[in-house]
Amino acid sequence: MMPEELVAVLDFGGQYSHLIARRIRECEVYSELLPFSTGPSELRRLNAKAVILSGGPASVYDEGASTCDSEIFQMGLPVLGVCYGLQLMVHQLGGHVRTTRHHEYGKTNLRILDGSDLFKGVGDRIVAWMSHGDYAESLPEGFETIADSENCPHAAIRDRNRKLFGVQFHPEVSHTEHGTDVLRNFVTIANCRPNWNPRSIIEDSVREIKSKVGNERVLCAVSGGVDSTATAVLVHRAVGEKLTSIFVNHGLLRKDEEETVKALAKDFKLNLVYVDASDRFLQELKGVTDPEEKRKIIGEEFIRVFEEESVKLGAFHWLAQGTLYPDIIESARSGSPASRIKSHHNVAGIPEWSRFKTIEPFRFLYKDEVRKVAAELGLPDEVVFTHPFPGPGLAVRIVGEVTEEKLRICREASSIVESVLRAKNLYDKVWQAFAVVGDDMVVGVQGDHRQVGHMVTVRIVNSTDGMTADWTRVPYEILEEISSRITGEVRGVTWLTYAVTSKPPSTIEPC
């Protein structure tokens, strides 16, 4: 579902680029991350109401530095340059950018010189997050300074007549005081309508799906997670009995997952077809150790199963999926200068030979936005707030080859992690918690005997949207209970470790 208007964020490869779009959405205005090369004609086609130029790692003077079409500044749209975006705006419009003697990284005291528009309501001083080695030495004609800092004389700039703005700091990060207020002021300047909310998303999606599908039939993959379940309920609201939901048990599920899915389908009157394909998936994965290859094998096998089932059930033209915006970004389908992080099975795994047309109502949504939509659709809290579970299932939590032994250990250990967190009222306070198992074998002592068994790693993280994450500082006594239960209850485990690496530099899932 694509809204009627948007704030376009042109991505120059900055580490915080996606956060800009998220903060704009928090203002109930739709925003999307687009390639930095997106030009005026495409912006008009998308009905962009404003443009934001993101930060980036380059200097505007670097050979091959990313740049935008300078005609964007002549479109009459409000433009906000953030960090590199400010420098690029200054450089392209006739000002001068140079390397600063005193690089600014981290929190900086900002003095507000004009609080009439961009800084309306934020006060005379704020603490802002800086991360730059270049700065604007002189401004283009028509610009004025509206904020400064000790080491940055033009920390925020404005050309009031052309509605061009620039900030050298990062309003999108949580470290910047009133950062969201600054972005909200910008979308107010752009006269954006605050209509990006769960109810409008549902209404617009239902209308679009009805228009697309017509009298054709739809298959929807459901897994028990909030993404696929909300997708099925939403599509059912749009097309009714023309929807058939398929739950494929690929043998890589969480403990008792299949019974949960069947109960949900019954509660929401979804026409569910259950397919036990666990043997064929495990056979296809036999001997495969490369994470990308595992993901692609699972994605392609999913489509084969759907193709086969659709033949049995009759003619289907559409496949509905719970693809999310971060899936597209991480699979490098956003056009960003960023590289592919990992292929998501529902993005990169769909083969060219598939005859299905896809319906992806959440492909522009972040996880927390999907949760809000799911709640609006009436899904129970245990589904709305269930921890994210990858489409390839436990295969991406098993390092190396997927075997029956490692699957058993991973499934049982992960269930214990969740069980302990629920008992301690911590499950709903963390983003994701699970166990990882690989091929490392270590010596332990069980029943006074030497025992060689698997090493299990527990991963518990906090996040907002899965794009970044921090490892959770779990109290030692809880880790001790998790360790004691896993080594005591899960046969074949002798050691337990705890992952303390955030994303970045790691990813949340190990594979």
Taking the mean position of all CA atoms in its chain, how far away is CA 251?
A: 26
Q: What is the mean pLDDT of residues 410-423?
A: 98
At 334 the pLDDT is 42
Q: Is the peptide bond preceding residue 390 cis, with omega within 30 degrees of 0?
A: no
Whole-number pLDDT of residue 104: 62
pLDDT class of 328 with cuts at 50, 70, 90: confident
Q: Which CATH architecture has domain 403-498?
A: 2-Layer Sandwich (3.30)
Which of 75-79, 145-149, 302-306, 406-410 comes out lowest in average pLDDT?
Answer: 302-306
On the question of pLDDT at 343 being above 90, the answer is no
Active site residue 344: no
Output the pLDDT for position 2: 62
Identical fold for domains 6-189 and 198-384, yes or no, is: yes
Instruction: Report the side by side order of strands in the sheet with 318-320.
Output: 272-276, 243-249, 218-221, 318-320, 357-359
Mean pLDDT of the chain, nearest integer:
90
- Contact predicate 256/249, CB 8 Å: no
Residues 27-57: tens digit of each pLDDT: 999 999 999 999 999 999 999 999 999 999 8
- Set 170, 250, 344, 345: catalytic member: 170
Task: Tell me which residue has tokens 């056979």.
Answer: 283
Q: Which residues pair with 245 in a beta bridge?
A: 220, 272
- Angle of helix 367-376 versus helix 226-239 axis, rounded to 10: 50
As a whole number, mean pLDDT of residues 212-217 equals 93
Give buried/exposed letters for 23-37 (b at 16+ CB in 10 A, else e): bbbebebbbbbbbbe
Alpha-carbon gap, residue 335 to 476, rounded angstroms: 43
Q: How does 481-491 read in b/e, with b if 16+ C-beta sit within 10 Å?
A: ebbebbbeebe
pLDDT at res. 16: 83
CA–CA dist 8, 30 (Å, integer): 9
**Residue in the block written with tokens 């909300």:** 230
Buried b vs exposed e over 112-126: b needs ≥16 C-beta within 10 Å? beeeeebbeebeeeb
Catalytic residue among 83, 152, 220, 511: 83
- In angstroms, the CA 431 to CA 366 distance is 13
3-state SS assignment for residue 363: coil
Short-list 464, 473, 372, CA closest to 426: 473
The model's pLDDT over 218-245, given as tens digits with 9 standing for 90+, comes to: 999 888 889 999 999 999 999 999 999 9
Instruction: Report domain extents, the chain.
Output: 6-189, 198-384, 403-498
83 catalytic? Reply is yes
The beta strand positions in 241-372, using DSSP E, are 243-249, 272-276, 318-320, 357-359
Q: Please state which of the four CATH numbers 1.10.10.10, 3.40.50.280, 3.40.50.880, 3.40.50.720 is assigned to the domain occupying 6-189.
A: 3.40.50.880
CATH fold label, 198-384? Rossmann fold (3.40.50)
**Residue 309 scores a pLDDT above 80:** yes
Active site residue 220: no
Instruction: Please report the pLDDT score of residue 466 as a whole number.
Output: 82
The residue-averaged pLDDT of 480-505 equals 95
- Among residues 104, 172, 257, 284, the one annotated as catalytic is 172
DSSP letter string, 215-232: T--EEEE--SSHHHHHHH
Write down the pTM of the prediction.
Answer: 0.76
Express as a percent the part of the chain with pLDDT over 70. Answer: 93
What whole-number distance in Å separates Cα of residue 252 and Cα of residue 297? 13
Find the helix or strand (DSSP H, E) in which 8 lies.
Answer: strand 6-11
Mean pLDDT to the nearest integer, 260-264: 88
